[in-house]
Amino acid sequence: MPGHQSRPIAVVIAEKNPLLQSSLVKLLGGDERFTIAGVANDGQRFLELLDKTAFRVGVIGWEMPVIDGRGVLQSLRGRTDAPRLIVYTGSANPDVPRQAMTLGAAGFCSKREPPEQLVDTILAVATGRMVFPFIDVASLASDPLAGLTPRERELLAALAGGLTNQQMATQLDISLNTVKFHLKNLYDKLAVGNRAQAVAFFLKGREPR
């Protein structure tokens, strides 16, 4: 098929609900753009699979037994060889996307969305993008973060996740110079002088009002 990528995206799914797990396997396994590299019932099994299987994207729950989504993200923080992770959850906690972002997830998708939304999120994340819902649409007009480009938002989230410039370059598949260029623009827009101030600005901007 013209324009179709030649190699399927290898995905591992960590989902505690057996019915949903089988539905996801059917959804992705029936799409030639993906290949199911493994399935886990909890975060610990997911991490075990990581050491045995090569895959590009992990779809993980937030509320899982043994090791939850937060624990998985914390375990992989700073690992340059880690797959890109999408938190897929039905949690009603509006702060979960922000938490997932700051812990280094590459994307977030709610189980309330149509299945096609998860497919689109996996495709985007596999190409190096970060996919998160905008946290508070009502505060857009007064939010300085609203003036950032999508790439600047990605870098700000990566900063908050503790990544170095080199790790950000690797994760986003851009050069170190490009990272530095975007960070300079980011600091200028937020009127801050360094990464610590930028992270503080980011976290303050996400506090409940």
Structurally, the chain folds into a number of domains equal to 2
Q: What pLDDT band is residue 36 in, cutting at 50, 70 and 90?
A: very high
* Same domain, residue pair 49 and 98: yes
Which structural domain range is residue 167 located in? 150-202
User: Looking at the domain assignment, is residue 3 inside a domain?
Assistant: no
8 A C-beta contact, residue 133 and residue 97? yes
How high is the pLDDT of residue 25?
Answer: 95
Residue 105's CATH number: 3.40.50.2300
pTM: 0.63
- pLDDT at res. 4: 47
Does any domain span residue 61? yes
Residues 31 and 119 in one domain: yes
pLDDT tens readout for residues 128-170 = 898 988 654 444 345 566 667 778 888 888 888 888 999 988 8
Distance of CA 176 to the CA centre of its chain: 21
132, 92, 83, 131: which is closest to 111 by C-alpha? 92
Domain boundary among the residues 107, 138, 169 is at 138
Residue 180 is inside which H or E element, if any?
helix 176-190
Asked if residue 107 has pLDDT above 80, the reply is: yes
> Half-sphere exposure of 168 toward its Cβ, with a 13 Å CA cutoff?
24
- H or E stretch covering 99: helix 96-102
